[in-house]
Structure 1
Amino acid sequence: MHDIVFLFDVDNTLLDNDSVQAELHDYLGKNYGEKARDRYWTIFEDLRSELGYADYLGALERYRVEDLHNPQLLRMANWLVDYPFAERLYPGALDAVAHVGQWGPAVILSDGDAVFQPRKVHRSGLWQAFGDRVLIYIHKEQELDDVERFFPAKRYVLIDDKLRILHAVKTLWGDKVTTVFPRQGHYALDPKLIAEFPAADHTLERINDLTRLGREAFGG
């Protein structure tokens, strides 16, 4: 039983996933044309609505069925799995993880598929930085019992760029969790989404601002 455990999201919390998507958008347009690019993103969004998480390789599989005899499509998978994700970590992200690690275990708590998301976490260096403490679910806010089973604690701190997730976990865990909202990425900067949910316990302009908070900021 830990006194406190820090739970970190990955995309647009520790890693600039918006920039990765922008690069993928440009890559598809330049190498396969605007029609193929737009069709891929349509499939991607349809699949995200269906599954509840982003599935880049799953969208590619579906697109491949539509254009089965185009061998160039196989290069898209290589681009995705070989992407240098370590270059997309936000400045100071690892410093923030190390800072809170002096008080309790830091754990990745992410949504995603079972192949590409672990690959992203590994290639970014986050898997090693978190000492193999990595949890990836389809809907992480529905898996809090599992989180408590793997990392039992008197108190949790959740750092996530989505107010929806922070609010859902706060509703379930109540005063047992302190929520931290780094305003990074398109979800965190969307005024409609911000207005839809209550403010987090702490709002940061960037993930590195976490290093300015002392232990007392997280309660317990």
Structure 2
Amino acid sequence: MIFLLDVDNTLLDNDRIIADLSEHLAQSFGAESRDRYWKIFEALRVELGYADYLGALQRYRVGAMNDPRLLMMSSFLVDYPFAERLYPGALDVIAHLRRRGPTVILTDGDVVFQPRKVQRSGLWDAVEGRVLIYLHKEQMLDEIEQRYPARHYVMVDDKLRILAAMKKIWGERLTTVFPRQGHYALDPGKIAAYPAADITIERIGELTNVDFLTLPGTPKVSRTQQEAS
């Protein structure tokens, strides 16, 4: 069994990071410039299909070429204390799951900021470097299987859309876990639009209480075998 773990609003409080960034933008550049940045950010997300904070900053720069404060803006993003935004118990959950099978970070994002976030938060080391970052992870299941073959997978993600897409392909080979954290997971419209996950939890820390050996569809391994692996 292999555990696949999303990052933003699953292990890491990304909503809090966005709030800090928004506050920093307002204080450094003013509310109008803050709103302009987020407008560019959302347009870029629609265009690319994933969040690109540095890419949005680069586009923002086009309209503010003479503002030297932009150089410090990139430092705010790159040097942000991501480890302080881990959800309580996130690292304990990874350690707990690692005793039952390999843990793999599986997230979407760009090739600069997202890896930086995973590294500085401590998640990279927690999963022993097993990190996969794609543009659309739900479209990469064949590659995931090649890199980490297993009879059964567990996917933990705050977006039911992602869980439903993966479940449609892997079927009973996948157990989906939905932590109700962050604005996506609490949006009634998004919740109603997709099937419920196999497991729903309120906080990522609750995952230590789940006995995956008893779930339907999971390979039956004795606790003795599990402890020896």
TM above 0.5, one fold?
yes
Could you list the per-position Cα deviations for residues 135-186 of structure 1 after superposition, in whole angstroms to 9, with x for gaps in the alignment?
0000000000110011000100000000000000000100010000000000
Report how far residue 58 of structure 1 moved. 0.1
- In structure 2, what is the equivalent of residue 210 of structure 1? 207
- In structure 1, what is the equivalent of residue 140 of structure 2? 143
Report how far residue 217 of structure 1 moved. 4.3
Q: Distance in 2 between matches of 1:172 and 1:166?
A: 10
Instruction: Compute the TM-score of the two structures, normalised by the length of structure 2.
Output: 0.94
Counterpart mapping for 1:102-117 below 5 A: 102-117=99-114
Report how far residue 66 of structure 1 moved. 1.3
- In structure 2, what is the equivalent of residue 99 of structure 1? 96
Q: Distance in 1 between matches of 2:95 and 2:125?
A: 12
Report how far residue 38 of structure 1 moved. 0.4
Q: Distance in 1 between matches of 2:80 and 2:69?
A: 18
- In structure 1, what is the equivalent of residue 187 of structure 2? 190
Kindly provide the amino acid, as one letter, of the partner of residue 156 in structure 1: Y
- In structure 1, what is the equivalent of residue 54 of structure 2? 57
Kindly provide the amino acid, as one letter, of the partner of residue 154 in structure 2: V
Could you list the per-position Cα deviations for residues 33-58 of structure 1 after superposition, in whole angstroms to 9, with x for gaps in the alignment?
01110000000000000000000000
**Higher relative contact order (Cα pairs below 8 Å, separated by 6+ residues):** 1
Of 151, 154, 161, the match for 1:154 = 151
2:162 counterpart of 1:165: yes
Instruction: Compute the TM-score of the two structures, normalised by the length of structure 1.
Output: 0.97
In structure 2, relative to structure 1, the CA distance for the partners of 1:217 and 1:194 (3 Å cut) is farther
SS at structure 2 position matched to 1:71: coil
Instruction: Give the ranges of 4+ consecutive aligned residues of structure 1 lying more than 4 Å apart after TM superposition.
Output: none
Q: Distance in 2 between matches of 1:123 and 1:141?
A: 25
Q: Distance in 1 between matches of 2:161 and 2:203?
A: 18
- In structure 1, what is the equivalent of residue 82 of structure 2? 85
Q: Distance in 2 between matches of 1:199 and 1:107?
A: 23
Q: Distance in 1 between matches of 2:23 and 2:155?
A: 33
Unaligned runs of 5+ in 1: none
2:37 counterpart of 1:40: yes
Percent sequence identity over matched residues? 63
Could you list the per-position Cα deviations for residues 181-209 of structure 1 after superposition, in whole angstroms to 9, with x for gaps in the alignment?
00000000000000000000000000000
Unaligned runs of 5+ in 2: 220-229
Kindly provide the amino acid, as one letter, of the partner of residue 107 in structure 1: V
2:149 counterpart of 1:179: no
Of 5, 8, 20, the match for 1:8 = 5
Q: Distance in 2 between matches of 1:65 and 1:217?
A: 55
2:122 counterpart of 1:125: yes
Alignment root-mean-square deviation, CA: 0.7
Kindly provide the amino acid, as one letter, of the partner of residue 73 in structure 1: L
SS at structure 1 position matched to 2:158: coil
- In structure 2, what is the equivalent of residue 21 of structure 1? 18
